[in-house]
Amino acid sequence: MAAPAAGRLLADFGAEVIKVEPPEGDHLRTWGASAPDGTSWWFKSHNRGKQFVCLDLHKPEDAAAARALALECDVVLENFRPGRLAEWGLGYQDLAATNPDIVYVSISGYGQDGPYADRPGFGHIAESMSGLRYITGFSDRPPVRVGLSIGDEIAGLYAAIGTLMALRVRDSGGGGDHVDVSLVESLFSLTEALLPEYVHTGKVTERFGNRYQRAAPSNTYGTKDGLFVSVAANSEPIFRRLCKLMDNPALSQDERFATNQARVDNVDALDHLVQEWLNGLTLQDALMRLASAGVPAGPVYSIAQITADPHFIARQTFGTVPDETGTEIATLGLTPRLLRHPGRLTHAARATGRDQAGIMPSSRATKKDERA
């Protein structure tokens, strides 16, 4: 999932992205609910905007064709275990020897070197080893998965960023580069205070549920109608506004809550007071009051609620792209937004090998010979 995520982002903003699949197709084509043609709706969306060729790299002639294609490209983006593509003559050193300006981006579980480099790695494992899963969930329950393949998606973002960095240097005359993205390191980079607090104080951050452990109040609370609202009133001015909204302005001067650290130390008592107040309000009433008071808050949404929300609709947070049958496939909107050079949604993922003719160097050479 990681390399396709990076490729999708680059394709959204104008890159010509060629996806190389084996004859049986990318296995993600069968993951999740399928469209009538047998390809998953997710695959159609996740691989939008790309062109598709089919090569069996176990065959010398197809490996040679892949090499010829790679050498015509600015960037090679790959998601194999370290060293696997080199076995087919498609490693960074192989290609850079002919084209030193090539940008070669490798995504793997653990990176291109180190004791674990040869191990297979997936986002599920990266969540666990990066420390992310250890701190996710409630203290009296086992660690839980984030709920989506966050390791792959974050690694895809780092791969896209690394691609752009390397291209910038190359275009300034610095030559190509090998960008090394690890799923584990991508997630470890998100872990905020875990490392410095452990090294300098010995503190091991534990699971804490929906609370933010370093500022309060910041939690998810129930409402009168059985729904949930997240509230983040963890700066001094915002906390004072929340106290006033709760008809308890003196609460902000209570020594238990007068500073952020005091609120963190007494978070159980503070959360109890906030929850008591919200017990008397419906979700919509709570959201209206919190917004009018300038207190950051938001509902805990399902995908059904996201697609119905007027703000998401106005921001074009989701859209559609046509597949080869003309069916409009639901897809995520463009992120980020560029004012002067906006990206665009073009088409859904296509059939395996659909764009072979005209893309492969051998195909173009054959056509040229035929014309001659």
Task: Report the catalytic residues.
Answer: 152
The Cα 238–Cα 225 span in angstroms is 25
The residue whose two tokens read 């993922």 is 349
Pair 35, 25: CB distance under 8 Å = no
Rounded distance, CA 34 to CA 24, Å? 16
* Token pair in block for residue 231: 């509230």
The number of C-alpha atoms within 13 Å of 48 and in the hemisphere containing its C-beta is 26
Of the candidates 230, 202, 224, which has an alpha carbon nearest to the alpha carbon of residue 301?
A: 230
> Residue 68: which region, alpha, beta or left (left: phi > 0; alpha: psi -120 to 50)?
alpha
> What is d(CA 352, CA 355) in angstroms, rounded to the nearest whole number?
8
Say how many C-beta atoms besides its own lie within 10 A of residue 306's C-beta: 13
Q: Which two tokens stand for residue 371?
A: 């014309």
| Cα–Cα distance measured from residue 146 to residue 139, given in angstroms and rounded to the nearest whole number | 15
Structure tokens at 106: 């490798």
